[in-house]
Homo-oligomer: A and B are copies of this chain.
Amino acid sequence: MKARVTVTLRDGILDPQGKAIEGALVALGFGGVGAVRQGKVFDIDLAETDPAKARDALDRMCKALLANLVIEDYAIDMG
């Protein structure tokens, strides 16, 4: 089964990359652009077919590798 994991910075954590994109959008003439925050997505193919087991494995993958829980949150979305 296919899953999408989205990793985003926690609220309050400074995001210099997002700030740079925000500045670039404004410089390009896009008005009304407020805060921009950048995150990551991982599209993962899993052999597991049981949704509960797949979610559990993805949860462990996030904790072990995909997200830094000190500064990031993650969301698991299974198609």
Inter-subunit contact A42/B32 (CB<8 Å): no
Select A8's contact among B28, B43, B46, B47, beta carbons within 8 Å.
Answer: B43
Question: Could you say how many copies of this chain the assembly holds?
Answer: 2
Inter-subunit contact B42/A41 (CB<8 Å): no
Interface size class of A (residues with CB under 8 A): 20 to 34
A46: chain B residues at CB < 8 Å are: 32-34
The interface bits of chain A over 1-13 (1 if a CB of B lies within 8 angstroms of the residue's CB, else 0) are 0000010100000
- With CB as the reference atom, state the residue of chain B lying closest to A31: B47
- Rounded to whole Å, the gap between the CB of A34 and the closest CB of chain B is 3
A66 to B34 Cα, complex, angstroms: 15
Inter-subunit contact A30/B60 (CB<8 Å): yes
